[in-house]
Amino acid sequence: MPNTEITLDELYGRIDHLGDDEVVLDVRRPDEFAEGHMPGSINISHTDVTSQVEKLKKYKKIYIHCKAGGRAKQATAFLEAQGFDNIVCISDAGMDAWRQRGYPVEE
């Protein structure tokens, strides 16, 4: 089953209403994540997603984003190849656009 894609604005509309079995996965580097991230998101670098498959299996839905969209697409493709069918990729934008829109940022 192919992944779904939503826009950054759609994610903003959902982020405060995510269930315990849903997660926003930030696949930027840890140093980028530390400089600011979406509220409640977790960080697994796109290069480390391969080693974190078991950890991610507990979520019913995973929203993946990065800085601008490229790394999110890479992580999505990898997880789909591992059998995940619950990935929602934010491929049109990422943290740069999140900040530009004035959306909340945790540090």
In angstroms, how far apart are the furthest CA atoms of the chain? 35
Looking at residue 43, its amino acid is N
Q: 80 is in which domain, residue-wise?
A: 4-100
What pLDDT, on the 0 to 100 scale, is given for residue 1?
45
The CATH number of the domain where 75 resides is what? 3.40.250.10
What pLDDT, on the 0 to 100 scale, is given for residue 3?
58
Structure tokens at 49: 């997603």
Query: Does 73 map to a domain?
Result: yes
Least confident of 2-6, 21-25, 56-60, 75-79: 2-6
Query: Does 55 map to a domain?
Result: yes
Per-residue pLDDT, averaged over 6-12, amounts to 93
Number of domains in the chain: 1
Query: Does 67 map to a domain?
Result: yes
**What is the average pLDDT score of the chain?**
94
Query: Does 107 map to a domain?
Result: no
The per-residue pLDDT for range 24-67, each reduced to its tens digit, is 999 999 999 999 999 999 999 999 999 999 999 999 999 999 99
What pLDDT, on the 0 to 100 scale, is given for residue 4?
85
Query: Does 89 map to a domain?
Result: yes
Query: Does 105 map to a domain?
Result: no
Per-residue pLDDT, averaged over 85-102, amounts to 93
Query: Does 106 map to a domain?
Result: no
Q: Which long-range contacts (CB under 8 A, 24 or more apart) does 76-85 make?
A: 76/3, 78/49, 78/50, 79/49, 79/53, 80/2, 80/3, 82/53, 84/56, 85/1, 85/3
